[in-house]
Chain A
């Protein structure tokens, strides 16, 4: 295989060595597989949630528990952050300069943190209303699924910070570019999972 065949379209490695192109291809393919494996974890937690929905044990039910408005705003915030990350990726691909890239990354980070803050507040409200995880099987499954996504977002935020430091430190070298691309995949993946959470957990909760 020549290097041209394996050049990753989403990345701008320029005229670096052939080997770098090939490594980038491996790295990203590997990350897709990692996400697939992670998706299975979420799928099983969704299935568990479905199984445990009936296990309310006389405690709060989904309809009692969920507040749809904050969840909807969180959805908008996270979707917007995906858009801003997309802008960061474009800035990187078209060599739009470090400053623009950093700016979009910073916006993404802030949106991620807003999402986390809102979600934590939601949890606090739920727990304050007596909907804490040890209350019932149903709440256990909610608090395994949704906060796990939150944990992913938190890890993503930390990753954004690390990448911003690296951009400042190394400039846009090969590793930084590949890792930014991986972070992008991760961030969009979290969006998809959240959309599933919003539709399966929150929207369906309204009718239960």
Chain B
């Protein structure tokens, strides 16, 4: 993972430029701090790297059109009597070659890039690391996210605390309609569907609070369905887990029924104890057939 984390200097410069481009005085440029430009994890860093590469290639694709269109239109305007007029000229093999072959070449080149990166950044691909992976199970509900920590038998609503530097493996399902989980600064997005399990691998490389959200419309509470991803250094993460465990608020029958009611909780809710196999249980509420979206 180290290669992803070490940024090239020109990329860094570009990143700074992008941050400053709209002028520091405007509050508008704060927006960029929320984007992948301000990435906080290896996946997002690699995605930003890919953005830059693709963006540079595309400048050469779009550039000629942006230049040639006004030049041709102006040069050959009716009132310009110095320009040649050849009303019957309608073909040249040279131009044909020029407009078919280089674009095809660029697409072939991009195709290799796409193939490589789609596999390297496949959300299902575990992040290679010397540190042990943290298992988290996410359940999309109306209109909140439930994050279950199966190894610790605790769960939290609308807060995803993760240890900095350790890979996170998320399993997702939905307790209701389809939803989609995204954390722009950490990268990735994957749908959560009832009765099915999808996966997402993420990691944070620096401590901080990052915004996570559901991006798939699912009813009136949709705009409020946001959560904080809190990336903590290892000792703080353990302390956080202890705090959840100490909440003395197990996920019992009453709490379970409340989960499936349409609501927007004002604050994160800690569940000090969850039943074994809770995620699988939620999945099987719907699934009465083997249509699990696993591979």
Identify the A interface with B (CB < 8 A). Answer: 54-58, 136-137
Contact = CB atoms under 8 A, between A and B. Distances in A.
Contacts of B289: 54-58, 136-137
Nearest to A59: B288
B291 interface: yes
A142 B290 CA distance: 18
Contacts of A54: 289-291
Interface string B265-293: 00000000000000000000000111100
Interface in B234-271: none
- Interface size range of chain B in the complex: under 10
Contacts of A58: 288-289
Interface in B19-52: none
A49 to B, nearest CB: 14
A120 B75 CA distance: 74
Interface of B: 288-291
Contacts of B288: 57-58, 136
A136 B287 CA distance: 11
Contacts of B290: 54
A137 B290 CA distance: 12
Given A55-B289, A57-B288, A136-B288, 10 more contacts: A54-B289, A54-B290, A54-B291, A55-B291, A56-B289, A57-B289, A58-B288, A58-B289, A136-B289, A137-B289
Closest A-B pairs by Cβ, 8 of them: A57-B288, A55-B289, A58-B288, A57-B289, A54-B289, A54-B290, A54-B291, A55-B291
B196 to A, nearest CB: 12
A103 B283 CA distance: 60
B194 to A, nearest CB: 13
A196 to B, nearest CB: 24
7 contacts: A54-B291, A55-B289, A55-B291, A56-B289, A57-B289, A58-B288, A136-B288
Contacts of A136: 288-289
A74 B290 CA distance: 33
B58 to A, nearest CB: 36
A50 to B, nearest CB: 13
Contacts of B291: 54-55
A58 B290 CA distance: 10
B128 to A, nearest CB: 34
A58 B287 CA distance: 10
A56 to B, nearest CB: 6
Nearest to B287: A57
B195 to A, nearest CB: 10
A42 to B, nearest CB: 23
Nearest to B286: A57
A56 B291 CA distance: 10
Identify the interface centre among B288, B289, B290, B291: most chain A CB within 10 Å of its CB. Answer: B289
A40 B289 CA distance: 28
A135 to B, nearest CB: 11
Nearest to B290: A54
A54 B289 CA distance: 7
Contacts of A56: 289
Nearest to A58: B288
Contacts of A55: 289, 291
Nearest to A51: B291
A56 B289 CA distance: 6
A136 B288 CA distance: 9
A136 to B, nearest CB: 8
B69 to A, nearest CB: 38
Nearest to A137: B289
A137 B291 CA distance: 11
A199 B291 CA distance: 24
A75 B293 CA distance: 37
A76 B118 CA distance: 52
A168 B227 CA distance: 74
A54 B292 CA distance: 11
A138 B291 CA distance: 12
Nearest to A53: B289
A59 to B, nearest CB: 8
B248 to A, nearest CB: 39
